[in-house]
Structure 1
Amino acid sequence: MLLDGWLLNLVRICGFVEDSVASWTLTNLLHSPNEKLQVSAADFWDGILSLDEAGEPLVNLGYFPSYSVLKRAMLSYGYLFDTSGTKASISGSTAAGGPDDSLPHNIIAWLRVVSACCKIRKVHSIFSPSEAEELLAIAISLFLDRRLEGLLLVLGDCLNSLILYFNTSEWETSCVMVAESIAQRVTLDLNCLRVVDCITGTNKRSKILRSQVALQLLKISFGLKVANVEKILKLVTSINVKEKECDFFRLYVYLVLMDNLLFSSDAFRDKTGMVDAWRNYLRNCSTQIGCTDWRFYAPKARNKASYLLQGSILKKSSGDGKSCVR
């Protein structure tokens, strides 16, 4: 009945789901090796966690996927948690596309059910704010697993659903908590840029989270206890590209992170002093790093600075245009 969709039809007619049935279908969703059963179970949970036109649940449900059940499932898929049990990570070989390149079993169904749980927040809070923070950190971490590169749409939907799960009063604190959690376990290399890039949502919350993740990464990199944007900007712009010992790879990472910090959200658009200082530094990087400088990552740092400078000029022009309209 589950495979052919009759179970969902029966549940809709009855208007409720027994706990034993809900638990059984969730177990199949999370752990069954049968792909058709996984998909059918995910469709079933999508159906019973849907709302009608009036915003009310389609069926009465007493059993919901708990954070602990979802976390155990992630562990069974081979993902690791630190000793505090709050931060998800994957092994280096997995992130780099190691010897076992097979897709983790049931990961698509896991992402789908988490998304479905988030979308009924208005009528039922399945996860506490702290649990939702941890799930959001897990979802962001999954973007580092190269085996999941073909699942960007499903990952993106799950990520966006989790971002929108928090109510307004929770989001300001939770956003910082998630950003700190991510920054504490991602090293300052290209992976940290992938983490920032994966937050592609166009809504205000996604933009703020993207900026906040960049801020926390820079804070940890410079060993700061407080995320002071002005101080971080001074530290980045104090890097002298003419020095022989200049680390251009680190500079490249700093350029991308700093630009995301300043321009992902509108928080710093009106800070003309900071924005102008950043544009001047980008201009210096693009002109002072010579075209014949072939030190490691020097050409990429120069090209990135030039690209970001052009982007910042376009953003300024766009902002000026909006001001004129007002």
Structure 2
Amino acid sequence: MTASNTPNPQATTVTGAPRPAGPGLLVGRTVSRIGYGAMQLERLHDDRAGALTLLRRAVALGIDHFDTAQFYGNGFVNELIREAISPQDGVLIASKVGADPNPGGPVPMRPAQRPEELRASVEANLTGLGLDRLDLVNLRRMDAAPRIPLEADQVVDLDDQLAEMTALRDEGKIGAIGLSTVTMDGLRQAIPAGIACVQNAYSLVARGDEDMLQLCVQEQIAWVPYFPLGSAFPGFPKVTDEPAVITAARSLDVTPSQVGLAWLLHHAPNVHLIPGTANADHLEANVAAGALTLDEAALTALDAVLPRSVDVSIG
């Protein structure tokens, strides 16, 4: 029997569903390369049943990597995940710290960078999710775009933060450490502490961190881009506006969003996607992007798209 005909036991989740975009490694575990970013679930605050149904549908579609945070919806999103996801689903839960909820503010989160705040946020995530241990916790720095203005007491040295995160890992409260919104210098500084993934704003049209992505490939660090299709923030370009993306979508009879996601998966082997949505149809479309094949001509045209630099502050 040839290798291509041999069943791959890692191609399906513990529930038996095929993994969207196939299997990939994250914190040493095999998970779907297309995960689910839960931030937009806060839009369903008045439709709890609908939100729970969406989460269960994601599991049914083979997604076993969920990305969340206690500051999403001021704890509402974590409550939903706690209710919808059971240990038997085999889902890897990634959370993040470095910010706290900011209800009613111009930005729904405020910086919480001090070591004691990182610890408090880990504890809040554990309580909200009903867990004894978080599989992965991303430290949300404020070094790269989109930046949030910092008060003086929130300017904290990365080494001090990593010392607290390492202590939490040693205590068994978290399984692995990731970094979010980090610079290349920050990543290099942090690598000796053991970094499992990097979450930065990155897409076909915003590739300012290309060198960082390649470093992550070399160091076997997962690359989990947010804003994979751009952002609504002023100053962020949108992937779906690019003529090359629109042309590829028309030729494949898919959406420009699906082309943008598929390009990321083709671009590097360590890419894991966490597109977020509060809409069931969009969830299905995101999963379907994992099966999209881009031929050499399409990839050449997409790779030729000129990326734009992004340097945005919010709040």
Richer in helix (by share): 1
Richer in strand (by share): 2
Which structure has more relative contact order (CA 8 Å, sep 6+)? It is 2
Q: Which has the larger radius of gyration?
A: 1
Give the alignment's TM-score, normalised by structure 2: 0.25
